[in-house]
Copies of this chain bind each other. A is one copy, B any other.
């Protein structure tokens, strides 16, 4: 986000504060100064909000504290741009939902992968009817594990691999299909997580959506360190008239119009923070809406519950 703020020239960074107890922001502070800003440093984020009165708060702390920080920010009628998940418990999410309704400001969670050229291209092709009616979606998030800090090792702080890593893939399913989630069955495992405590190394989720659409989401930290990239994001959508896939930052389409596999030319990359600022400025709606951000968080938390309780969970 930092370099994008710099490039866009639409925002100035005026303050920095830890959001969680024990969180270090020294490195971030240095980076921001190197970009030419002179932010005021705080120890308490509420003090910062009250003193510098920013238009927008960019929130990215220990995941368990996001909801609390979002609440305090919404109460002050400050726009919220927050790392997902917005909340790590359904109770916290309910509080955020209520606070958002009354606040009259914008809120977007960082589902920025939607703006990658390959995802935008696939979305456009689906919307223009290239695959007919979508019936079956399979999405994948695969990350390198590396060596992660202690806040990833406790469920209470981290919130779980499904809400953090999986939320992107769940978001794509929602965005591409436009359907509502009806039920989920999910499973996860902490085995072989190389001393990462309670961190779930891999998970699988199977969703039923409206109109008998079905989706599976595969999530893992099993990407080898020597892999050519940190992540391996994929989605395949099979429809009545064609199949489209995002894989290796490319988009492949097979349909009944053209023979063989077509690699689609990519549209230009977008930028979620720019899009969010556009909404803040009253110049349109951010593609990742507050409603989407809150809804996907709810689906993620209930999916985690399905895995925890080893049962099918039905959404309202």
Contacts and interface: CB of A to CB of B under 8 A. Distances in A.
Interface in A188-238: 189, 191-192, 201-206, 208, 211-212, 214-216, 218, 220, 222-228, 236, 238
A215 B205 CA distance: 10
Contact of A243 (B142, B238, B261): B142
Interface residues of A, number: 50
Interface stretch (A89-97, A132-140, A146-154, A265-273): A132-140
B135 A192 contact: yes
Given A135-B189, A135-B222, A226-B260, 7 more contacts: A133-B192, A202-B214, A205-B206, A206-B206, A224-B254, A228-B254, A228-B261
12 contacts: A138-B138, A138-B216, A142-B243, A202-B214, A203-B214, A204-B206, A205-B206, A206-B216, A224-B243, A225-B256, A228-B254, A311-B312
A258 interface: yes
A211 B256 CA distance: 42
Nearest to A188: B214
A212 B226 contact: no
A10 interface: no
Main secondary structure, interface of A, reads strand
A223 B206 CA distance: 21
A211 to B, nearest CB: 7
A311 B226 CA distance: 40
A304 B227 CA distance: 37
Nearest to A140: B138
A220 B238 CA distance: 8
A259 B226 contact: yes
Contacts of A204: 136, 138, 206, 214-216
A111 interface: no
A21 interface: no
Q: Nearest 5 CB-CB pairs, A to B?
A: A185-B185, A222-B238, A189-B212, A206-B206, A136-B202
Interface in A256-312: 256-261, 310-312
A140 B238 CA distance: 12
Nearest to A306: B185
A241 interface: yes
B211 A191 contact: yes
Nearest to A219: B136
